[in-house]
Amino acid sequence: MRRYVHLVTLVCAALAAPANAQRFTYVGTLGRDTLSLEQVIRSPEAITGDWISLYGGIMVHHYELTLRPDGTVSRYQLNLHRLSGKLDGDIDIRFVDDSMIVRNAAGKELRAQVGEAFPMFTSTMGPIDLILTRARASGRDSSSISTVGAFGPYRRSSMPIVFFGSDSVRFGNPRAPLVARIDAGGHVLGMSARATTTRTETRRVPDFDVFAAAAHFPNVADSADITGVPAISPRDTVRATIGGASVMIDYGRPAVRGRKVFSHGVLGDTIWRTGANAATQFTTTRDLIVGGDTLRAGAYSLWTRVSPDDSSYRLVFNTQTGQWGTEHHPERDVLSVPLSRSALRSAAERLTIRVANGDRTSLFRLEWANTALTVPITAR
């Protein structure tokens, strides 16, 4: 009962918005799939939001930012709960002088010197909208703002912000920025993460009941863990024996989700992780001949190099292992072999890698969307 009352309290608090408040509703998508719903209520004194993630189980991320008269944040509260109201965790951050005081669900406090900084948690739109409207109001085309992660590390980071045109802005990591469309007041109309590893799109929509809508999505029991982002591209392992060599490939399996995945590289990349999330791992216990070249026994990360016009593909073996799939060091590439391309008779919604057992010879085969990419593998 307490959990239910807790949830009702949060919903009622959101509905009881101040008269001078602005209300924004957002939908996050990946391809044709809806990943999140978010409702934000903003007044000069506070920002309250509910970001509801819908993958791997439904989780409500309820956040409240208390604002000072100058628009900086004096307090940030975040709690994670299920639709039932079951609390999965919370955090309370106060900004005092040049420090932040963090109090977690266990009551433990941590103090860190960060100066003036804005708290961030994933891509929740309330804090982002606050940061961008302040930057727009400064009148400068480019600026930088200090941020700090709600769950650490509790060190101040610098977020570059660059406005271009009358209604667009790039911000975040300059090598993989978020891009947003904004209205005349700097409020976010839509945001694209296509240059990042998530590839998601967020758009502002007419107001609706996000909690009622979330209840129609698949959920898990309160006793089950919410698997989060990895559930979008589950991990899989391929094992095969070729001659006397044991081969293993560990990779993430993204789905097409209505996207043109082989347009302008693979999902926009010319060097692709051959999967999703963490870099794809390839191990062999003996030397192999891959596409006519020798690959020594050992462990590698596996990459696919794609020409910008998608006319040719190469399979690349790199000696770095265990890294995230955006970290590729070309100086550590040891082998690059051409892949043959053919059309699939039946489209593959989810990326699939196959390597069959063979007395001496096998075939590496990647299938996704309407395309198959292959290269022969032979035991030495």
In terms of domains, do 12 and 138 share one? yes
Contacts with 293 (C-beta within 8 Å, 6 or more apart), sequence order: 335, 337
In terms of domains, do 178 and 145 share one? yes
Residues 275-330: tens digit of each pLDDT: 998 999 999 999 999 999 999 999 999 999 999 888 999 999 999 999 989 899 99
CA separation for the pair 39, 183 (Å, rounded): 18
**241: which DSSP letter?**
E
In terms of domains, do 316 and 202 share one? no
φ, ψ of residue 214 to 5 degrees: the values are -60, -30
Q: How far, in Å, are 117, 226, 246, 377, 378 from residue 360 at the CA level?
A: 60, 43, 12, 9, 6
In terms of domains, do 56 and 181 share one? yes
Structure tokens at 322: 């265990």
Domain residues for the domain of 32 are 2-214
Q: How far, in Å, are 22, 54, 105, 282 from residue 78 at the CA level?
A: 20, 18, 10, 40
Beta strands in 134-216 (DSSP E): 142-149, 157-164, 168-171, 178-182, 188-192, 201-205
In terms of domains, do 252 and 209 share one? no
Task: Tell me what the mean pLDDT of segment 155-182 comes to.
Answer: 93
Residue at 362 is within a domain = yes
In terms of domains, do 203 and 245 share one? no
Where does residue 92 rank: exposed (0-12), middle (13-18), buried (19+ CB within 10 A)?
A: middle
Position 153 confidence tier, pLDDT thresholds 50, 70, 90 = confident
Residue at 226 is within a domain = no
Position 5 confidence tier, pLDDT thresholds 50, 70, 90 = very low
Residue at 330 is within a domain = yes
| Nearest in space to 377 (alpha carbons), one of 274, 273, 246, 278 | 246
CB 182 within 8 A of CB 168: yes
In terms of domains, do 242 and 119 share one? no
Task: Tell me what the mean pLDDT of segment 185-198 comes to.
Answer: 91
Which of 214, 247, 278 delimits the end of a domain?
214
In terms of domains, do 310 and 196 share one? no
Residues 65-120: tens digit of each pLDDT: 999 999 999 999 999 999 999 999 899 999 998 899 998 777 788 888 888 889 99
CA separation for the pair 304, 256 (Å, rounded): 17
CA separation for the pair 126, 373 (Å, rounded): 43
In terms of domains, do 23 and 125 share one? yes
Residues 8-48: tens digit of each pLDDT: 444 444 445 677 789 999 999 999 999 999 999 999 999 99
106: three-class secondary structure by DSSP:
coil
In terms of domains, do 209 and 280 share one? no
> pTM here?
0.83
pLDDT score, position 151: 83
In terms of domains, do 331 and 361 share one? yes
Residue at 222 is within a domain = no
| Nearest in space to 316 (alpha carbons), one of 291, 285, 297, 342 | 291
Which of 214, 246, 270 delimits the end of a domain?
214
| Nearest in space to 25 (alpha carbons), one of 6, 44, 42, 8 | 42
Q: How far, in Å, are 121, 252, 270, 278 from residue 274 at the CA level?
A: 28, 8, 11, 10
In terms of domains, do 298 and 365 share one? yes
Which of 214, 249, 264 delimits the end of a domain?
214
Residue at 110 is within a domain = yes
Total count of domains within the chain: 2
